[in-house]
Chains A and B, each alone.
Chain A
């Protein structure tokens, strides 16, 4: 990515670039949209979906990869979004000196929720 000269950094920034965040946000949004459209189409075109059919749908390798990809996209999208919200509103300017601690706790909470969500989804996907 060429030379980097970060003028602005923050503890929870993890040295990311705004450009990659911006790109990830857009690409992940497209993946999420595709997944939603794809599943809406399947559900709408199958008037009476049985459990067996539903299970079979998720057992295929392609769907498994697609689901996993969407899961990754969702986690990345949510993380970048929450990090951005936190650095807009949970700041020194907004809440004084306790801001860094509040933001850190909030972001660690976000990571925990996303990690649990990710593991839980992987378990479900691999159980079919």
Chain B
């Protein structure tokens, strides 16, 4: 199989280029894209990429695989390879540190901005803050995000305004805390999102939903935030 990998070392290369590798794929089993990358690295150990858990939990090997963002470790070749060709590029829209490794600073900055931690001004209870099973269920589909950035780097609004638009990943987490019955800072959180960029740059094209490897739905969460903003404003 022909594997074409985006190569760029800002310190030595004038501009990025694609380098091709011929990889023998053993028959009889469906490898993951990450396995193929390991084989590429055996041929050429200068190829840089991030990986850690290799089972879709850590979120570090998000990349653009044959044009679609995904986690290399849980993307089987049979899902993406056509005409015996695999093209691997870094997540689009973020500065490249080297090869498939991108600088996620702006992505994390947006995450930090939504204050992703419980805030509660009520007196601290003796043991713990309780939550009913129903209220807990509201967090399903929100807390599972692994911050792989596949969604935000697939979102045109995030490409155009990554400093101002929180992006789907950050907004999913913003809603995770807005929806939490134990959080009392709802009004402050909403006030921080009301400007024309943070939430309202979302155009609802659902590019984020299309690629989330965890099957989450940021567009729906963004819709809920908009409803909450509307209720607060009315």
Contact = CB atoms under 8 A, between A and B. Distances in A.
A85 to B, nearest CB: 10
Given A1-B233, A19-B200, A19-B233, A6 B195 contact: yes
A19 to B, nearest CB: 5
Contacts of B200: 18-19, 21-22
A17 interface: yes
Interface string A64-94: 0000000000000000000010011101011
B196 A13 contact: yes
B229 A3 contact: no
* Interface footprint category on B: 20 to 34
Contact of B195 (A2, A18, A89): A18
A93 B156 CA distance: 13
A11 B137 CA distance: 42
B30 interface: no
Nearest to B230: A19
A89 B156 CA distance: 11
Nearest to B195: A8
A9 interface: yes
Given A2-B191, A5-B188, A5-B191, A91 B196 contact: no
A3 B164 CA distance: 20
B159 to A, nearest CB: 8
B192 A5 contact: yes
Contacts of A2: 187, 191, 232-233
Contacts of A45: none
Contacts of B194: 4, 6, 17-19
Interface residues of A, number: 25
Interface string B210-234: 0000000000000000100110110
B22 interface: no
B197 interface: yes
A7 interface: yes
Nearest to B165: A8
Contact of A87 (B161, B230, B233): B161
B117 interface: no
B37 interface: no
B198 A7 contact: yes
B160 A18 contact: no
Given A88-B161, A89-B160, A4 B191 contact: yes
Interface in B81-114: 113
B160 A88 contact: yes
A21 B196 contact: yes
Contacts of A91: 160-161
A7 B113 contact: yes
A4 B195 CA distance: 9
Interface of A: 1-9, 13, 16-23, 84, 87-89, 91, 93-94
Closest 6 CB pairs of A and B: A18-B200, A18-B196, A5-B191, A8-B195, A88-B160, A8-B197
Given A1-B233, A17-B195, A18-B195, 5 more contacts: A7-B113, A17-B233, A19-B229, A19-B233, A21-B200
Interface of B: 113, 157, 160-161, 164, 187-188, 191-192, 194-201, 226, 229-230, 232-233
5 contacts: A2-B233, A8-B198, A20-B233, A23-B230, A84-B196
